[in-house]
Each structure stands twice: as C-alpha cells, then as structure tokens.
Structure 1
Amino acid sequence: MKRSEVPSLDDIRAFEAVARLGSVKAASKELALTHGAVSRRITKLSQEIGVLLSEPDGRGIRITRDGEILSKAARNALDELSEAVATIKQDKNNTPIVLSCERSVAMRWLIPRLSEFQDRHPDVELHLSVGGGTLDFRRDKITLAIRRLDFPLSPDWKVEMLMQEKIGPVMKPGMRVHFDNHNYIGLSSRTRPDAWKEWSSQQKSTPKPREIRSLDHHFLMVEAAANGLGVALCPYVLAIDDLEKGRLVAPLGFQEDGSQYGLIYPRNLSLTNHIHLVRNWLAEISAGV
C-alpha cells in the first residue's frame, strides 16, 4: 500500500481508542470528541479499508477479527509516535544553553553568581561564552547573549532590557585623599577611550585626573583600581561586589549614561523551560544593579 493510501490518522486514533477502551463513550471522552464524531470516524475508516472493523454487541460494541489486527498495529504505531515526540521534546529541553556575555561583565558580575543558578537548577546545562558587540547566533552556536546595547540591533532579534549602564569613579579606600586633591591617575579601558573626557565634561566641579592610563579591558581596569594603581571610571555592574566588600569606594556614586544592557536572542528561538529559567534568573539578578 502506498503511503498516500494510508487512512487518516484521526480516524485510526478514534478506532484505536474504541478498541482499547471498549466503548465509543469512553473513547469520545479521551479524545474530547462527541459520541457521533467518533462513530463517524470508525464508519469512514471501515469504508476506506473495505472491511467491517466493529459491530454492535448489545448496548456496546465488539471489535471484529480484522479490527483486532488493525487496532494492535495502530496501538503499536501510536505508541512509537508518542515515544518519538516525547524524546524530541526531552532532547530539545536538555540541549545545552550557551550564554554569551561581554568579557568584563562575565568575569566581574555573572560568573560570581552562576553557582547560585546551578545550585537552584542543577538539571540545566548552562555554558558561558565571552564576546562583545554584534552577534551571529547560528555561526557561533549561541543561545542567548548579554550585551551593552551600543551597536545596531537586528530586527530578527528579540531584546529584553536587563539594566541601565551607570558610570562613576571607583578607587581603593586609601586613594580618596589623592582623588580629592586632583592628584591621581585616571584608569580607563581601550574599549571606551573617551570615557574620562565625556565624564569630565558633565562633572565640571569634580576632581580631574592628572594623567590617564588605558588598559585593554574593563576587568583589568577595575582590578588595577582595587590595588591602588589609580581611579577607574567604572560601570557599576563591574564594581558592585568589590564595593560591597569594601575593596573599592565610589565617593561620587554612579550616574546613568543613557545606555543599557540587554538580553538578546533570535526571534525564532524556541523558548524551552530551561531557557525560561535562565531568562527569569538573569532578570532577577539584574534587578539589583
């Protein structure tokens, strides 16, 4: 028999349910169909095959010998289909989630909090990748990405805001006197070379650095400040833990610079339960920044 000649799956499901449960009433309840709809599907199936599949038996129904053969084959086929669908869903939900994050944000903020997520959701396989700027989700096999939204965003992406960028000078506690006396080295990152110039133009009454030195990455800049090498003009998200521990102080606080960090993923991404857990957790820990 050609595949095109195989009867409707809906009709087969209706007949298999009647044969398995022993009545049209029980089958109609399981399938959420009316009694008449189930009966019509069985009649249609019998006509297509050209054999009698069932016959009245008092107030009930009796499956014929041919019907028994078909019902057994249908049950086996439907069981295999159910197992295949369950396997696909399970495999999809268990696919490792690759979260891409800017290097400094990953090192100074995300990684110190990842153990909390793993303890809470040990069954979620979350992998961390570092990177900045624009994205190619398919090429780089990335599921989700955390980025400072300072580059063009594709219309094919979904963007969920996580937190505002806040900037301010941070320093080792003992550096405060030098800061107040304008006798300090300003530390910056090569990725934002004009940060001190822009900040100074907006904070005209604040102490200006006597010299500015650049480091390759923000995480190096913050660590240099914590070790007394100067004052870092730093995003709050990168300094939050050291501020709480007292390694750094921020005498002028932090000001929003108009930019944000966002969670980015393809609009066509299938959002599994595990992905929802990651999204919700990121929103939760971002709320305190």
Structure 2
Amino acid sequence: MNALPPLAALRSFEAVARLGSVTRAAAELHVTHSAVSQQITQLEDALGVALFLRVGRGLHLSEDGRLYALQVRQGLAGLADATRLVRARPRQDELVIAVLPSFAQHWLIPRLPRFRDRHPHYRIRLQASLAIQDLRQGLADVAIRMGQGNWDGLAQHRLFDDELLMVAAPHFAGGQLPRTPAEIRACPTIRSNEAWQAWCDAAGLDIPDDVSGSLWVNDSNLSLEAVRLGQGVALERRSLVDAALQRGELVALTDIRVPYPYPYWLVWPQREAARAKQQAFTDWLLDEVARYQHP
C-alpha cells in the first residue's frame, strides 16, 4: 500500500487524461490550475515516467500515460463503488426494506403506520424495485419477494399465497357491469403479465384474443390505474386490489378466483448486527398477514 501515490494526484491525472486539459480538469475538481499541474508533476516524479508529452502549451498522453490512465480510471471507479456501498448500508436505527413497487404501494405502505407505532425508534427506508437485490451485499435488512423460495444464503419465511380475480371500476360501462364470464370476455380488457389461462379455464372460456379493445401494460400499478379510470376489466392479484375493493373503488365481477403461482416471501440475510430489527419486522409482518387473511 505504501507504493500508492496520493489520491489527489491520481484524481488530477485521471481528469487531465480524460479532458485533455489542465484548465478543464481544474474546473471539474474545483481547484486551481497550478494545483493540478503540481499534482501531475509530483505523480510523474513518483513514478519515474513521463505521463504526458508537452507539445507547445498543450499536453498529450504518452503511451505509458495512456495505459496508466485506463487502470487509474478503473481503480477510482472501484473506490467510488465501494464508498457508495458503505454509505448505503443500513444504520443501526434504520430498517431498510427491499420490496416490489406494486406490493409496497397497495399492501405494505397502508400498514406501515402500525409498525411505526410499535417501533417508533426505527427509521424506515423502502427500496422499491422490480430487480432482485443481492441481500448479501448488506444494502437491505429484509426483502419481500414473489417466487418459489430457495434463495441461496438467505433466511426466508413464506408469507401467503395470492389469488387472481376479475375486477372493474364501479362506473365502468356506465355502471352496467358485466357479471357472467361471457359478458366479461366481451369487454375491453386491461392485460398485464398476469396469466389469463387459469381464470379462463375455471370460467369455461377460451383465453381472449389480442383484440383492438385490449390495453397491454407491463406494470401492475399502471394496470390498476387504467382499471380505476374505467378503461376496462382486469385480472389482478387480490393483494393489490383488496383495499380498493373494501373502499368501493373497485368491484369484483364474479366469485371465480384462481391461485396465483408465486407466493410472497419474507427473506433476510443473517447478520448479527441486524437481528433485532429483522425480528421486530418479522413479528409485526406476520401479525399483519394474519389480519389480512382473517379480517
């Protein structure tokens, strides 16, 4: 480690190599022109090679400088990533939850005030994303996922199985809501990634064709908004529409419900430093699941 040049000199060198100008590098680094020039000179003296060729009043990378710049740029990028990861790690009084955006909006967030009432000393930070975060990096304390389980290196608890049901806004079709499977099939549909085949099989129907009356959406929140605005009927997960059904914002069109193939799971990395808050969240969440399943 003693052979490493000063970080300030490496940053100055990388900036000049990338920008091709000491003046522009100084402006980017918010230092003086002479400070950058001095850093470059000190770096060349420490390495014993000329990193730049002085042509008139300009600077051009030497071959040694070009190769060195590539490695320095990668090294500085690695340091930046490492710093970002350290800063992003949860603090002791902070509970970081990685969660799907749709589940967070329609199921978790409405219930979070009860967790905050039970554990007011924790600051809550939600990381909502469709991407599956590698929890072993330590950037989240817990995560709520859909899937078949068996994630390597993580503790996990199955929360509940979901189901699919057909819903519409109360004012859809002027309030003349379809009630039979055949009537539903004839309506404009809001289609997302949810599989219609199982519901159509249960209803004794062929799966609807991709007709001009359909709106295809790749995001559950957008699908639910289109349904809420009365643009069509949709097959949705109960976990996402249950509260809207209770408020009367959406209506279940039939009693036909089919299992959703991917259960919800609570998963967490097993770290001693986070065990207390992980346990607190687990206990609270299981209470909420029981209340949801048996209101």
Matched residues in 2 for 1:167 and 1:224: separation?
Answer: 17
Matched residues in 2 for 1:252 and 1:178: separation?
Answer: 9
| Paired letter, 1:249 | V
Among candidates 115, 122, 139, match of residue 120 of structure 2 = 122
Q: Secondary structure at the match of 2:215?
A: strand
Q: Does 1:162 align with 2:164?
A: no
TM-superposition CA deviations, 1:207-227 (whole Å, max 9, x none): 958643222310111121122
Distance 1:223 1:269, change over 3 A: farther
Among candidates 88, 95, 98, match of residue 97 of structure 1 = 95
Note the C-alpha offset of 1:117.
1.6
Matched residues in 1 for 2:206 and 2:230: separation?
Answer: 20
| Paired letter, 2:224 | V
User: Is the Cα–Cα contact under 8 Å of residues 268 and 278 in structure 2 kept in the other structure?
Assistant: no
Matched residues in 1 for 2:218 and 2:206: separation?
Answer: 26
| Paired letter, 1:223 | E
What TM-score, normalized by structure 1, do the two folds share? 0.59
Note the C-alpha offset of 1:173.
2.2
Please, which runs of 5 or more residues in structure 2 have no aligned partner? 1-89
TM-superposition CA deviations, 1:118-171 (whole Å, max 9, x none): 122211222111123533114470111001115x74331111011102111111
**Match of residue 238 from structure 1:** 240
| Paired letter, 1:172 | A
Q: Which moved more, 1:260-269 or 1:234-243?
A: 260-269
Please, which runs of 5 or more residues in structure 1 have no aligned partner? 1-91
Matched residues in 1 for 2:224 and 2:117: separation?
Answer: 28
What TM-score, normalized by structure 2, do the two folds share? 0.58
User: Is the Cα–Cα contact under 8 Å of residues 170 and 232 in structure 1 kept in the other structure?
Assistant: yes
The within-5 A match list for 1:1-289 is 94-139=92-137, 141-150=139-148, 153-175=150-172, 177-178=177-178, 180=180, 181=183, 182-189=185-192, 192=193, 195-205=195-205, 211-253=213-255, 254-268=257-271, 270-287=273-290, 288-289=292-293
Distance 1:206 1:169, change over 3 A: farther
| Paired letter, 1:98 | V
| Paired letter, 2:204 | K
Distance 1:142 1:213, change over 3 A: same
TM-superposition CA deviations, 1:75-109 (whole Å, max 9, x none): xxxxxxxxxxxxxxxxx993412101101001111
Q: Secondary structure at the match of 2:283?
A: helix
Note the C-alpha offset of 1:251.
2.7
Note the C-alpha offset of 1:286.
1.7
Note the C-alpha offset of 1:201.
3.3
| Paired letter, 1:272 | R
Note the C-alpha offset of 1:271.
4.8
Note the C-alpha offset of 1:268.
4.6
Q: Which moved more, 1:133-142 or 1:118-127?
A: 133-142
User: Is the Cα–Cα contact under 8 Å of residues 98 and 127 in structure 1 kept in the other structure?
Assistant: yes
Q: Secondary structure at the match of 2:252?
A: coil
User: Is the Cα–Cα contact under 8 Å of residues 132 and 147 in structure 1 kept in the other structure?
Assistant: no
User: Is the Cα–Cα contact under 8 Å of residues 103 and 131 in structure 1 kept in the other structure?
Assistant: yes
Matched residues in 2 for 1:274 and 1:283: separation?
Answer: 14
Note the C-alpha offset of 1:269.
5.4
